[in-house]
Amino acid sequence: MVVCSLACWRCRWLLPLLLGLAIIMGIIALAGRGWLESESAPYVHQASLWESCTRGEQDLNWNCESLMDYGWGRAAAATYLVGFVILVICFALAVIAFSVEILRFNFVRGIGGLLFVVAAFQIIGLVIYPVKFTEEIPLTGDNMFSWAYGFGWASTVVVIGCAFFFCCLPNWEDEVLGNIKPTYYYSSPERAPYLN
């Protein structure tokens, strides 16, 4: 029976793969225009991490205002972007750690610690944005925080999960490297007479 979990040689690339997935979701969150959108017709408002756009009910053109003119907009963008840059660095370190035999477990816990820093920066940005946006930007109609904002949270959740695994993985270093011999349990002849 073959069991493949995070503590096995064949599956060592799962964590860097998950970090790559978090990077893709982070790119979608950074580039997406769906942080806030009008929930129902008429669709008069949409916003990204960088700008807020509105239009009249009959107008086809969006009038956009930069959120970088607000201190909270710069803070939300900066914290999320710093977290994203550290995430890319952690991805590169993870690929190196799982590629080079000697370095594998020397700094895996450090990558886990950096991933907790990434999560903290991303959470700060993801909390500042909706709180200050709803306080300072006039909203008309029903609005919702939409798909790009959700990708930001999904990236953060994946990062938190990877951080725990990176911190715990060195505890199973011998199992991952295959240095532990299997343990066999034998019963005494009195308990199992059929083995004679």
Residues lower than pLDDT 50 in the chain: 1-7
Is there a contact between 83 and 119 (Cβ–Cβ < 8 Å)? yes
Q: Which residue has the tokens 């790559």?
A: 20
As a whole number of angstroms, the distance between CA 190 and CA 173 comes to 38
As a whole number of angstroms, the distance between CA 174 and CA 102 comes to 14
Cα angle for residues 80, 82, 83 (degrees, 5° grid): 65
Q: What is the pLDDT of residues 93-106, one digit of tens each?
A: 998 887 776 656 66
Residue 105 has a pLDDT of 66
Question: Nearest CA to 125 among 80, 192, 177, 63?
Answer: 80
**Terminal alpha carbon distance of the chain:** 26
Residue 103 has a pLDDT of 56
- Please tell me whether the peptide bond between 182 and the residue prior to it is cis, using omega within 30 degrees of 0: no
- Residue 162 CB partners (closer than 8 Å, separation 6+): 15, 18, 19, 22, 112, 115
Domains of the chain, each with CATH number or no CATH? 16-32+70-176 (1.20.140.150)
Residue 21 has a pLDDT of 96
Residue 194 has a pLDDT of 57
Residue 188 has a pLDDT of 61
Residue 140 has a pLDDT of 76
Question: Nearest CA to 174 among 76, 90, 105?
Answer: 105
The number of beta carbons lying within 10 Å of the beta carbon of residue 171 is 12
List helix spans (H) across 41-146.
Answer: 71-99, 108-136
Residue 10 has a pLDDT of 60
